[in-house]
Amino acid sequence: MKTAQTFLSILALYITSAQGKDEAYGSECADFNNKTWLEYRQQGSKLQVQYLLFTRKDTDCASLFSQESLNRNTDFNSSLPTKIIVHGYRALGSKPSWVRELARALLQAQDANVVVVDWVYGAPSPHNLVVENYKEVAIQISVLINRLQNHGCKLESFHFIGVSLGAHVSGFVGTLFKGQIGRITGLDPAGPMFKGADTYDRLDPSDALFVEAIHTDSDYFGISIPVGHVDFFLNGGMDQPGCARCQNLRMLSVLVYFPVYGYVICDHMRALHVYISALNGTCPLTGISCSSYEDFLEGHCLDCQGVFKGTCPKIGLIQNSGITVNPLPRQEKFFSPDNLNTTFCGECRHNPILILVHLNVSILDKSAEVQVTLRREDFPKRQQKLRATDKNDYRKVMAHPVPLCEIDSIQVKNTGARFYRQGDIHFVSVCISEFPSVREVVPLCVNNIDVRRGSPWNHDFVHLCGDS
């Protein structure tokens, strides 16, 4: 616990420097409370909560919103659904720079009231104190929800989007309303001090009619256990593409080079940016139910049959993430391969492809290593290694920036010769297929090929894409 708090203290220093710089709102627009660390020390960090309202009338300009303002002419429309954004630990008091982007994406996807909970004034206390006091934030939010109910809003019309610690704040609001809140989306719910907590004290499926979570840093700042009806573990829930994979390197980068974003909270914040990309439609992501990420990558989980009746959940605003079974699953893990990009998901397309290899095992003297490469001329190549032992069939899931029908060529290479004596390999077939398959599509296969050591085998695909 002390180690986690030490890292979070260093993180506090970083966030203020790296994320505190945000373009100023216009003079007529409401803004976050944003005091310096010295002002907090002088005036005390007693919790203060205010609310900012965004609507389609002006997606870039917020207005202050309060219980009192409901009695006046405001842009709040009780007949519309209400999205409530809750930020998390704010270190030294810096305002979150991502709020307007998230609000804009929500409003683009759905006409709604978007209410941002600003508890920056009180969130920069030492992390352990913030965690101890976060329920007070939830209580104050619940007072507003009660008032909105009196103005015609229904509990099922509220959708909370909580980032990090904000996910657990949202969960406690749901607890106060006995799980009758419509929906809670946790964006990499905070892990330190919550993984072993009672469900009363953290986000869990009983907090809303539907609870979903996107996990991207479950080995560090995020939580590693399922906390919703549906839990998306992107890239296994940790070590996102383009982010540091060594925790010691993260610490070193903070100490040596302060503003290195990727080495500190890149993984943790990826959930937020993936969610925004899903709302914008630039990076739709589908999850596959599986017991572990390793089994998923090995191709052991290919669809959402069984209890899910073939429907796989999607990140976004679709009802219950697209899950239609009743009752809803609880704490079900869904996996998706990495989204390839070096920064955020919206910068490239995400297309899972299933590679199926059938070998003639009888001619193998020992295990064999092969490498399968998929190419398109104007995109970086993607490679996948397979280690063949005593089986005939092997499967691997690969994410590619283009869909299957746009792949130009496939290369199969006998790579084991670099490590041990490996003879020629006979492939009965090498196939690539859509994953998960949403329609009846015949896999693209090449049959009966021999791959010699040091001599890659290549095959070009011609006119794969057709009118659909």
Locate all alpha helices (DSSP H) within 30-85, ordered by sequence. 37-43
Kindly state the percentage of the chain with pLDDT values over 90.
34
Q: Minimal CA–CA distance to 454: which of 410, 412, 396, 426? A: 412
Predicted pLDDT of residue 56: 95
Specify the length of the chain in residues.
Answer: 468
Extract the tokens encoding 304: 């959402």
Report pLDDT digits (tens) over 417-436: 555 555 677 788 888 887 76
Q: With a cut of 60, say whether residue 8 has pLDDT above it.
A: no
Containing H/E element for 387? strand 379-388
Q: What average pLDDT score do residues 161-188 get?
A: 97
- Domain boundaries of the chain, sorted by first residue: 2-346, 350-460
Rounded-to-integer distance, Cα 171 and Cα 165, Å:
10
Predicted pLDDT of residue 441: 63
Q: What average pLDDT score do residues 361-366 get?
A: 57
Predicted pLDDT of residue 310: 77
Q: With a cut of 60, say whether residue 230 has pLDDT above it.
A: yes
Q: With a cut of 90, say whether residue 51 has pLDDT above it.
A: yes
Task: Say if domain 350-460 classifies as CATH 2.60.60.20.
Answer: yes
Q: Answer for the pair 171, 202: CB distance below 8 angstroms, yes or no.
A: yes
When pLDDT is cut at 50, 70 and 90, the band that residue 362 belongs to is: low
Q: With a cut of 50, say whether residue 26 has pLDDT above it.
A: no
Q: pTM here?
A: 0.81
Q: How many CB atoms lie within 10 A of CB 304?
A: 23
Q: What average pLDDT score do residues 226-233 get?
A: 95
Predicted pLDDT of residue 129: 61
Q: With a cut of 70, say whether residue 347 has pLDDT above it.
A: no
Distances (CA, A) of 357 to 162, 221, 224, 345: 42, 38, 33, 29
Distances (CA, A) of 92 to 14, 16, 138, 270: 9, 6, 21, 21
Predicted pLDDT of residue 141: 96
Q: With a cut of 70, say whether residue 69 has pLDDT above it.
A: yes
Q: Which residues pair with 383 in a beta bridge?
A: 373
Predicted pLDDT of residue 2: 45
Q: Which of 125, 164, 253, 289 is catalytic?
A: 164
Q: With a cut of 80, say whether residue 218 has pLDDT above it.
A: yes
Q: With a cut of 90, say whether residue 182 has pLDDT above it.
A: yes
Q: Which of 268, 273, 350, 400 is catalytic?
A: 268
Q: Which of 63, 125, 159, 188 is catalytic?
A: 188
Q: With a cut of 50, say whether residue 1 has pLDDT above it.
A: no
Q: With a cut of 80, say whether residue 378 has pLDDT above it.
A: no
Predicted pLDDT of residue 443: 78
Q: Answer for the pair 228, 211: CB distance below 8 angstroms, yes or no.
A: yes
Among 151-155, 277-281, 450-454, the range scoring the smallest mean pLDDT is 450-454
Q: What average pLDDT score do residues 275-290 get?
A: 86
Q: With a cut of 60, say whether residue 22 has pLDDT above it.
A: no
- What are the strands of the beta sheet with 158-163, ordered from one edge? 58-65, 50-55, 113-118, 82-86, 158-163, 183-187, 210-215, 230-234, 332-336, 288-289
Known active-site residue 215: no
Report pLDDT digits (tens) over 292-344: 988 888 888 877 877 787 788 999 999 999 998 889 988 889 998 655 443 44
Kindly state the percentage of the chain with pLDDT values over 70.
72
Q: How many CB atoms lie within 10 A of CB 342?
A: 11
Known active-site residue 268: yes
Q: With a cut of 90, say whether residue 102 has pLDDT above it.
A: yes
Known active-site residue 164: yes
CATH fold group of domain 2-346: Rossmann fold (3.40.50)
Among 86-90, 237-241, 337-341, 451-455, the range scoring the smallest mean pLDDT is 337-341
When pLDDT is cut at 50, 70 and 90, the band that residue 25 belongs to is: very low
Report pLDDT digits (tens) over 381-410: 677 777 666 567 778 888 777 777 788 888
Q: With a cut of 60, say whether residue 252 has pLDDT above it.
A: no
